[in-house]
Structure 1
């Protein structure tokens, strides 16, 4: 992978153990090269430095993490440690419950709320031996595609702290990008895993709707029919490992799918015989020139990997944002705070109050009519996947914009919706419930990452991993690090 100037040389890699991939950490444990306490100390040091520059952490869990690391260190020395992620640090987005830890969800209304139960994904990660280091920032209720909130303020991008991290899983993506541990758990209702992963230059996966259970702790229940939980990582292999752990049937989540445990192959192989449809605009989107150029180069790489790439897409209604997504998404946001009064919402952001107000003004008929149109969009994807095995698009129509803004309202001179119009490729996939991932495919002229989105049919995560692994092998994007990640960690402070 090269940047806009054609740069191909890889920069120095961070020296901290928190910058290693999960597979590298586990290999190090097997060699007895370091201990879980060593890894956690370096990870905490990186988190503290990153939080100072980017504001990515809501609630530190550093003392608990050190205690757990010490326990696992003793078990490893005794040959008793178990679990496929034993000793690997993980962060959890603040929409997802961790028992005994505040879950603000970016909202002033939740400042006193401490759940007494773990979300299903947290229970699965704990059972695997993963060490939770902190809760990461989100916008209020996950309502927008940045991670700024009245609780935590503005979350920034480790590639350029003057730019946004994206969101709403912005703290999660910024932490992984800056070498603060290899794995973060995010959520995605309209692009909230893929947008920040694209902006921060990491891998993010939104699994098939229902593959990863959200109950019993996902708060508030905003984006009720749209939200997915999934991993953000630096490598494709790490994301596959996490998904194998957190994908499970849980009857507490009515959307949970009764699927058997799954294993994913992330060995790089030829894409010969794979039919990939490609669309730079889904027939209606406006995109930045740098994004379009990087997308074209990505298609050439896929072609060189053996894929049969054709320009094709689902042919969606150009009015899908206003007539389908907003009546569903905004109504579900309003329903999440249906018991709250105007006074309760007074400390919320004005933009959030506007979304809730709009949701309260849609009628039941509006919601059902939008649901019919949603079914038509799903059928369009069904027909597309009769012709191709996967779809690729840009992940976002722009690169990271100035921190503190809700979005951009123009792209190359064309007006777009400032809330969701600059991310036209992500939320149609939520409407269809399809699996999708983003991985870096280049940089813009300012050195900011650009993402490639891979979409596959329902429950066909293996095809996503196959394409992503081949692209990763051809363009080893994980070797590029933001300047912030190259700071020497203050290990002495982390060990205190």
Structure 2
């Protein structure tokens, strides 16, 4: 049964409502085909099913969600919906504060910590009428690109339970992919929205740095100058809908951009006249053959849609991971636990302790010199965007690897850094603060999703939505469901 059949006869198949997009839910509420409470109960059932297989939830918020859904139902019945997401379920990554709900952030150090205030994005969601369902899994302090942690265990991929979901927004991506509701809030410091979205076969967007405020609750403040908050969804239009709610200036956040609140749209429009740069490897990165083949096929689709696609790449330092990213990122991770003795990290991941120790080993000079080199990354993208309106790359250089591992140490015979080397396309974009999205563009021979990354100039999320919507219309993915999805019969 497809979503249009569901809208014509709501509730005729188990878990059908939980699979609807946010736009379809809002249409159904308006037509009184079903209520927010109907939807929520199916979403709760779906989340419990998915959690039993993939481990996606840290803290359920079902009682409060039922109250919010009933209030939304009353508002729809009265013809006065309280906002653009009235009655729509959304999950919140456990690095983002929800008042009165534990914020573990995957870290044993946070045991017993309960914030008293909502993060700005959570406050915006409440004002928009959204229904918060649960906190989703993350790795410890968001330090790696999987969602395994000492707090919540190993989050698995709904397409293959032996593989990782990716991370650190892994619970968010896996839940959306398997039908645990249409919307999720994730965060992205070195790829933590795009990597799990690519591994799980959904749409994930990292907005321009500062477009979505991170205050007053984002803990711990790891990846301080790198982390973005953004949407993970099944459809491009749902991401635009969610970003419209959470974007905006907040003077409490020193990185928040004082720009007029934008309006995002995702109508599929022709790509004729659009210049798109394309590189399968940035000129130096190791990439698996399956990912490379899917990328080349996706580039062909963009050309068929009318875009002028040129083989161009930003001129980046191949040693950027060691020379630029790690001195910044690892120092910021160490700063997040500044003042805590090493023995306080005894229950932490061993790899997390290594990152903190390495971060503590960099000097202030090392950090500042890395920020100078970071300026060269920005300049490289500025030069590229003089020649093209957008850049496309693979989202990740590999498909999902074994669950419970940090990463892979070689790709197609080439050695790579096990922590971050297999995701060479994500973290350069964080260094530059650019907006970027991943969308599904194929599968490997084992049936694991592959993502296409779209990168745009600063504050030009509109071109990302334009390209993504056109690709989605040509190669739709929202009707594909992984084996871990709740059954419909």
| TM-score bracket, shorter-length normalisation | over 0.9
Q: What SS does the corresponding residue of 1:343 show, helix, strand or coil?
A: helix
Task: Please list, as runs of the form range in 1=range in 2, the aligned pairs for 1:105-116 lying within 5 A after superposition.
Answer: 105-116=105-116
Are the aligned partners of 1:14 and 1:179 in contact in 2 as well (CA < 8 Å)? no
Distance 1:34 1:47 in 2: 19
Change (3 A) 1:185 1:14: farther
Q: How far is the alpha carbon of 1:18 from its aligned partner?
A: 1.3
Q: What SS does the corresponding residue of 1:46 show, helix, strand or coil?
A: helix
Distance 2:191 2:425 in 1: 8
Distance 1:234 1:466 in 2: 16
Moved more, 477-486 or 367-376: 477-486
Task: Please list, as runs of the form range in 1=range in 2, the aligned pairs for 1:142-153 lying within 5 A after superposition.
Answer: 142-153=142-153
Task: Please list, as runs of the form range in 1=range in 2, the aligned pairs for 1:288-307 lying within 5 A after superposition.
Answer: 288-307=288-307
1:205 and 2:205 matched: yes
Are the aligned partners of 2:55 and 2:155 in contact in 1 as well (CA < 8 Å)? yes
Which residue does the alignment assign to 2:8? none
Which residue does the alignment assign to 1:222? 222
Distance 1:408 1:268 in 2: 37
Are the aligned partners of 1:16 and 1:43 in contact in 2 as well (CA < 8 Å)? no
TM-score by structure 2 length?
0.97
Report runs of 4+ in structure 1 exceeding 3 Å deviation. none
Distance 2:433 2:255 in 1: 11
Which residue does the alignment assign to 2:54? 54
Which residue does the alignment assign to 1:246? 246
Distance 1:109 1:270 in 2: 50
Distance 1:379 1:134 in 2: 40
Q: What SS does the corresponding residue of 1:205 show, helix, strand or coil?
A: strand
Matched residue count: 477
Residues 444-468 of structure 1, C-alpha deviations (whole Å, 9 max, x = no match): 0000000000000000000000000
Q: What SS does the corresponding residue of 1:135 show, helix, strand or coil?
A: strand
Which residue does the alignment assign to 1:450? 450
Change (3 A) 1:305 1:220: same
Distance 2:233 2:104 in 1: 24
Which residue does the alignment assign to 1:182? 182
Which residue does the alignment assign to 1:9? none
1:326 and 2:326 matched: yes
Which residue does the alignment assign to 1:390? 390
Which residue does the alignment assign to 2:405? 405
Distance 1:104 1:254 in 2: 24
TM-score by structure 1 length?
0.95
**Gapped regions of structure 1 (runs ≥ 5):** 1-12, 490-496
Q: What SS does the corresponding residue of 1:387 show, helix, strand or coil?
A: coil
Which residue does the alignment assign to 1:335? 335
Which residue does the alignment assign to 2:9? none
Residues 346-402 of structure 1, C-alpha deviations (whole Å, 9 max, x = no match): 110100000000000000111011111100011000000000100000000000011
Distance 1:61 1:277 in 2: 44
Which residue does the alignment assign to 1:6? none
Q: How far is the alpha carbon of 1:80 from its aligned partner?
A: 2.8
Which residue does the alignment assign to 1:170? 170
Change (3 A) 1:14 1:236: farther
Distance 1:202 1:81 in 2: 28
Distance 1:17 1:344 in 2: 45
Are the aligned partners of 1:14 and 1:485 in contact in 2 as well (CA < 8 Å)? no
Q: How far is the alpha carbon of 1:260 from its aligned partner?
A: 1.2
Are the aligned partners of 2:46 and 2:486 in contact in 1 as well (CA < 8 Å)? no
Q: How far is the alpha carbon of 1:15 from its aligned partner?
A: 4.2
Which residue does the alignment assign to 1:36? 36
1:102 and 2:102 matched: yes
1:196 and 2:192 matched: no
Are the aligned partners of 2:15 and 2:42 in contact in 1 as well (CA < 8 Å)? no
Which residue does the alignment assign to 2:5? none
1:272 and 2:269 matched: no
Task: Please list, as runs of the form range in 1=range in 2, the aligned pairs for 1:7-156 lying within 5 A after superposition.
Answer: 15-156=15-156
Distance 1:295 1:116 in 2: 45
Which residue does the alignment assign to 1:493? none
Are the aligned partners of 1:106 and 1:151 in contact in 2 as well (CA < 8 Å)? yes
Distance 1:15 1:169 in 2: 24
Distance 1:80 1:383 in 2: 49
Q: What is the root-mean-square deviation of aligned Cα atoms in Å?
A: 1.0
Are the aligned partners of 2:120 and 2:214 in contact in 1 as well (CA < 8 Å)? yes
Distance 2:373 2:175 in 1: 37
Distance 1:273 1:362 in 2: 47
Distance 1:76 1:373 in 2: 53
Q: How far is the alpha carbon of 1:31 from its aligned partner?
A: 1.1
Distance 1:148 1:213 in 2: 26
Q: How far is the alpha carbon of 1:116 from its aligned partner?
A: 0.2
Are the aligned partners of 1:277 and 1:390 in contact in 2 as well (CA < 8 Å)? yes
Residues 155-177 of structure 1, C-alpha deviations (whole Å, 9 max, x = no match): 00111111100000000000000
Task: Please list, as runs of the form range in 1=range in 2, the aligned pairs for 1:475-486 lying within 5 A after superposition.
Answer: 475-486=475-486
Which residue does the alignment assign to 1:313? 313
Distance 1:14 1:310 in 2: 46
Q: How far is the alpha carbon of 1:184 from its aligned partner?
A: 0.2
Distance 1:194 1:107 in 2: 22
Q: How far is the alpha carbon of 1:14 from its aligned partner?
A: 7.8
Are the aligned partners of 2:189 and 2:226 in contact in 1 as well (CA < 8 Å)? yes
Q: What SS does the corresponding residue of 1:344 show, helix, strand or coil?
A: helix
Distance 1:201 1:367 in 2: 36
Which residue does the alignment assign to 1:492? none
Q: How far is the alpha carbon of 1:486 from its aligned partner?
A: 4.5
Residues 166-223 of structure 1, C-alpha deviations (whole Å, 9 max, x = no match): 0000000000001101000000000000000000000000000000000000000000
Q: What SS does the corresponding residue of 1:348 show, helix, strand or coil?
A: coil
